[in-house]
Amino acid sequence: MVKDRKLIIAGNWKMNKTVAEALDLVNGIKREVASVKEVDIVVAPPFTALESVSKALLNSNVRLGAQNMSENGPGAFTGEIAATMLKEFSVRYVILGHSERRQYQKESDELIAKKAAAAHASALKPIVCVGETLSEREGGITEKVIGTQVRGSLAGLTREQIEETIVAYEPVWAIGTGKTASSQQAQDVHAFIRKVLVEMFDDATARRVRIQYGGSVKPSNARELMGMPDVDGALVGGAALEARSFADIIRNSI
Ligand code: PEP
């Protein structure tokens, strides 16, 4: 399907890969996807591998992402990483508000919105994650939850900034579980997110925002998911840890 939004497929490596393993993986990905022009490709290694992976990606078609950043600039914030520090390694994207951070670090929509603003202030493109839990879906409140997360996590962004923001819809019950949302379930929520973006911004702006799906994306389901009209890419966890499967997801999406 030809869409006017370019697909963006990102690999979230989470807390995996030593520097040596990260280099192996990124070199494999580079080889596998060297000829791909139709998709924006992003890898998000752990902070400790950013420098090495950044060097490995020089002159390639794969861009670098980080998995988190501070809402603050440099200063007395022990254990945190500022956007300006990510920029040193040519990081272009930063994943914000992943459900694991919402769950384990208790990140709120308000905090994520501050991080998104800080990312834009340093010309980093945030990938802002939203998603409902299984009990929320079964309780029939998916749209209520997603609407609140989208409005809260993107609060305060300008039209120019939202166009440079990626929204990732990641149903919590589908992350790392092997359970994928059906392509229709994904499309329904993506269309709903776009409707919320129309209300927050305007129709033309909302039409330019890319919305990724995440949750057990693999080579076998990528084509059908990416074929949905409002699905503009994927945020991939487990299947991004192996060059061939990540590349196959990309190839099957074109
Ligand atoms: C994720 O954590 O962003 C994710 C989508 O993981 P997985 O692909 O392993 O479900």
Would the pLDDT of 40 be above 60? Answer: yes
State the closest ligand 1 atom to the C-alpha of 218, by its place in the atom list counted from 1: 8
Supply the pLDDT for residue 190.
98
Q: Encode pLDDT of 54-90 as tens digits.
A: 999 999 999 999 999 999 999 999 999 999 999 999 9
**Distance between Cα 202 and ligand 1 center (Å):** 30
- pLDDT confidence bin for 2, thresholds 50/70/90: low
Closest Cα to atom 2, ligand 1: which residue? Answer: 237
Q: Encode pLDDT of 17-38 as tens digits.
A: 999 999 999 999 999 999 999 9
Would the pLDDT of 1 be above 70? Answer: no
Average pLDDT over residues 121-141: 97
Three-state secondary structure string covering the chain: CCCCCCEEEEEECCCCCCHHHHHHHHHHHHHHHCCCCCEEEEEECCHHHHHHHHHHCCCCCEEEEECCCCCCCCCCCCCCCCHHHHHCCCCCEEEECCHHHHHHCCCCHHHHHHHHHHHHHCCCEEEEEECCCHHHHHCCCHHHHHHHHHHHHCCCCCHHHHHCCEEEECCHHHCCCCCCCCHHHHHHHHHHHHHHHHHHCCHHHHHHCEEEEECCCCHHHHHHHHCCCCCCEEEECHHHCCHHHHHHHHHHHC
- pLDDT confidence bin for 176, thresholds 50/70/90: confident
Supply the pLDDT for residue 49.
98
**Distance between Cα 76 and ligand 1 center (Å):** 32
- pLDDT confidence bin for 92, thresholds 50/70/90: very high
Computed over every residue of the chain, the mean pLDDT equals 97
Closest Cα to atom 6, ligand 1: which residue? Answer: 237
Q: List, chain by chain if needed, residues with CB within 6 Å of any ligand 1 atom.
A: 12, 170, 175-176, 214-217, 235-239
Would the pLDDT of 131 be above 60? Answer: yes
Q: What's the topology of domain 7-253? A: TIM Barrel (3.20.20)
Catalytic positions, please? 98, 170
The percent of residues above 90 in pLDDT, for the chain, comes to: 96
Supply the pLDDT for residue 193.
98
Average pLDDT over residues 141-154: 98
**Distance between Cα 216 and ligand 1 center (Å):** 6
The pTM of this model reads 0.98
Closest Cα to atom 1, ligand 1: which residue? Answer: 237
